[in-house]
Amino acid sequence: MTAASDNLTLRLLREVLSCPSVTPEDKGCQNLISGFLIDAGFESETICRGKTDNLYCWYGSAGPLFLFAGHTDVVPPGCGWNTDPFAPTEVDGNLVARGAQDMKTSDVCFAAAAKQFVKNFPNFKGRIALLLTSDEEGDGKDGTAFAIEELKKKGIQPDFCIVGEPTCSKELGDTIKNGRRGSCNCRVTIYGEQGHVAYPLKVENPIHTASKIISKLAQTQWDQGCEGFPSTSFQVSNITAGTGAVNIVPGSCSFVFNLRYNPATSGQEIENKANGIIKEFAENSDISWEHSAFPFKTEGKELTGCLEKAISKVQDIKPALSTTGGTSDARFISRWCSEVVEFGPVNNLIHKANESIPLKDIPKLTEIYYQTLVNLFSVSSK
Ligand SMILES: [Zn+2]
């Protein structure tokens, strides 16, 4: 990468960070990135639904397909900012703006790497594509999941994918995510018999029943974990009951719990086991489940090896492989592409006020993505 191309990357990043693209709005980010790539011979297509914009940009017509997946939407700024969150500002060697870590910097760095790569190796044997969505931080219905279905109809299927979410913990290059846990939520309402607290024989207290259920669910050992993953975790996130009065046993009690699970367990097994525990204590109850992510672990090693080699070259460290953290669009992509990993900048300020990216990491991240393409397509480095 040259100083001139680094300047162009920074200019594009500043423009993209200036777009107030609070989910599910894109506010022109994808247009800026596609314009930058079309200049270098990429083709592009928009796949929109509802308020969501999805962009698919590609170069090359045959051979293995490498996909970069990212999102241009950001979470709302919230309060506590010292600068305008949508006016990127340099402070002490960092570029401060909403989306600086999660994840406009990766989007732009990858676009810059891909542009440089096709300029240096216009006849490489393979294809490079970017899939950007503006609906990752929201419910995701019209985002990557929908775009994948549309791309599948055209026979498009990537062989390798990097999702550019911020994965590093202390230093750029220290962590690659090669899997994620599954996640499901369950909403339960227990019905009892409302009445006066002074007449225990005339009431059936649903809070007492709920507490027995929660206690048993919390003590349950769901599984033993599996290679690279901890055992399944259970947490209650909400509990609601009572009228506010001190002398009424309420008629119902509702609670919500979440389970994060590993690939050794299925969502259905978890659901069956939990339903059994709830029904054991409460015949009269409503239970509803939502499965927001299925777990995955990338078994392929080809892309991971190319990325590790690129990181060692640029940063001189060996990245750790990790499956921790929340969900990302990799949950959809892993069912479409056999080797998907996540790699992006340090994530210590995501969703916080004064989110920022070290300026020095911008050319380094670009170079890591570039060297990954060099390794993957086996061209000799320029
Ligand atoms: Zn993100």
Task: Measure 129 CA to ligand 1 centroid, in angstroms.
Answer: 19
Task: Measure 253 CA to ligand 1 centroid, in angstroms.
Answer: 35
Task: Measure 346 CA to ligand 1 centroid, in angstroms.
Answer: 12
d(C-alpha 194, C-alpha 207), whole Å: 11
What's residue 213's pLDDT? Answer: 98
Task: Measure 103 CA to ligand 1 centroid, in angstroms.
Answer: 5
Residue found under tokens 């055992």: 231
CATH of domain 182-293: 3.30.70.360
Task: Measure 246 CA to ligand 1 centroid, in angstroms.
Answer: 45
Domain positions in the chain are 3-180+295-376, 182-293
Annotated catalytic residue: which of 26, 136, 142, 339? Answer: 136
Q: Over the stretch 118-132, which tens digit does the pLDDT of each residue have? A: 999 999 999 999 999
Question: Does 149 show up as a binding residue in the annotation?
Answer: no
- Those residues whose beta carbon sits under 5 angstroms from the ion ligand 1 are 102-103, 165
Question: Does 137 show up as a binding residue in the annotation?
Answer: yes
What's residue 326's pLDDT? Answer: 80
Annotated catalytic residue: which of 15, 53, 73, 367? Answer: 73
Task: Measure 112 CA to ligand 1 centroid, in angstroms.
Answer: 19
What's residue 381's pLDDT? Answer: 58
Question: Active site includes 280?
Answer: no
Question: Active site includes 136?
Answer: yes
What's residue 104's pLDDT? Answer: 98
What's residue 261's pLDDT? Answer: 95
| Below-70 pLDDT ranges, the chain | 381-382
What's residue 178's pLDDT? Answer: 93
Q: Are 191 and 251 in contact (CB under 8 A)?
A: yes
Task: Measure 92 CA to ligand 1 centroid, in angstroms.
Answer: 24
Task: Measure 36 CA to ligand 1 centroid, in angstroms.
Answer: 22
Question: Does 196 show up as a binding residue in the annotation?
Answer: no
Question: Does 71 show up as a binding residue in the annotation?
Answer: yes
What's residue 308's pLDDT? Answer: 97
What's residue 300's pLDDT? Answer: 80
Task: Measure 140 CA to ligand 1 centroid, in angstroms.
Answer: 12
Name the fold adopted by 3-180+295-376: Aminopeptidase (3.40.630)
Q: In what order do the strands lie in the sheet with 54-59?
A: 43-46, 54-59, 127-133, 65-71, 160-163, 339-342, 175-177, 320-322
What radius of gyration do the chain's Cα atoms show?
Answer: 24
